[in-house]
Amino acid sequence: MAKLASLGIVGAIILFLLAGCAARSPAPQSTGPINTPTISATAAKAPVAPVSVDAEWDRVVAEARKEGKVNIYTFWITGDASKAVAEAFEKRYGIKAEMITGVGAVLIERMKTEQAAGKYVADTFDSAISLVTMAKDLGLIQKWGYLPVLSEKDVWRIPPRVDAEDQIIDGGVGHVTTMVNTSLVKPGDEPKSFKDFLDPKWGGGKISIASPVTAPVSIMPYVVKMIDDEYFVRLGKNNPKVGPTVRDSINAVARSEASVEFLMTDSIVAPLIARGAPLKAIELAEGALRLHGLTLTLARNAPHPNAGRVFSNWLLSKEGQEVYHKTSSTTPVRSDMPSYMPPAVALEYKKVTNLSLEDMLKVSKIQQDGTIAKLLGLMK
């Protein structure tokens, strides 16, 4: 206890001495204003350079801008859509889009002639899936390579990558069905099935049909066995009005030169209906055919290949899809945006048969050998 008491006395003395020293320590003297670093308003607001998350695509875009233009051989991007798409793309990237429009078969012949002569003009080519497949078989197109839009998940009505060889991509959805002129065909009198077209009441040019030599649409139900050889022989006896292209055939019905279109693609009819044409889509008992509606390819030895890739990648983006499909009143391939089809053609189909790439290869072969045209009596 005595030892603890002595320790306490010593501690008290030490604390007393420390307190005295603190009391005598002079307060720190100011030597002038303290200079603290300041950040200018300009520096505070200076933008931070974005860090690219896709250096590979940045290089493609940079090269595309150097190329300065893209030549688009197109069956689909026509009329108001042609101007709207070209202007929106140029505004986005500063790259001029030159639209060369025409029937798919004619554009293919042009590409064949040009490429055979060593003259490469087309950067991209789009048409019906069967004609795009034909272009592939003829060696007129090449692989796309990397397109970042294709890596987007869960935003597609149908897969945008069409073939395993990476040569065909899709930017729209189409349906093949029948159409009538509502000023010539009363409600309830429309064809109900394919066999109704064989009725003599539809004879004498009341049926309009696109030539199977230049338009594949009439061959499609044949390939999936909805109709057969004998069907076309009998249909030919009804003397249908034959148009050189599907657009010509549809326009004949729109102008009341025929009452019913044998088969049409809704993405071609939609703009006409949107402008007031007396047309209405009809689903037959056999159902409709669903196919890729805006098939795109990159031409072999394209003079502006990077611009072609940037254009097509943009066309599949939400911005590109809205510009094209809203202007053309059609259905985007993307499911994260609405269809722009007018009600008279935007049917809720009860039965739909999907056409595969293999089906379209068969269509292309039949179109080239003239099988259906011979059955209809159009060729010998």
pTM for the full model? 0.75
**Is a pLDDT exceeding 90 seen at residue 13?**
no
Given pLDDT bands bounded at 50, 70 and 90, which one contains residue 215?
Answer: confident
What is the reported pLDDT for 356? 83
Phi, psi of 38, rounded to the nearest 5 degrees: -120, 150
| Token pair listed for 306 | 């990077």
Q: What is the DSSP string of 242-265?
A: EESSHHHHHHHHHTTSSSEEEEEE
Which residue shows structure tokens 């048969």?
353
pLDDT above 90: percentage of residues in the chain:
68
What is the reported pLDDT for 365? 86
pLDDT tens column, 252-306: 999 999 999 999 988 889 889 989 999 999 999 999 999 888 999 999 999 999 9
**Is a pLDDT exceeding 80 seen at residue 11?**
no
- 106-142: burial string, b at 16+ Cβ within 10 Å, e else: bbbebbeebbeeeebebbbbbbbbbbbbbbbeeebbb
Average pLDDT, rounded, for the chain: 86
Calpha distance 63→308 (Å, rounded) = 11
- Give me the domains of the chain, ranges plus CATH numbers: 56-171+293-341 (3.40.190.10), 174-291+356-375 (3.40.190.10)
What is the reported pLDDT for 52? 56
Provide mean pLDDT across the span 126-140: 91
pLDDT tens column, 44-97: 444 443 445 799 999 999 999 999 999 999 999 999 999 999 999 999 999 999
Which range in 22-26, 52-56, 184-188 is most confidently predicted, on average pLDDT? Answer: 184-188
pLDDT tens column, 303-319: 999 999 999 999 999 99
**Is a pLDDT exceeding 70 seen at residue 355?**
yes
How many CA atoms lie within 13 Å of 128's alpha carbon, on the beta-carbon side?
A: 31
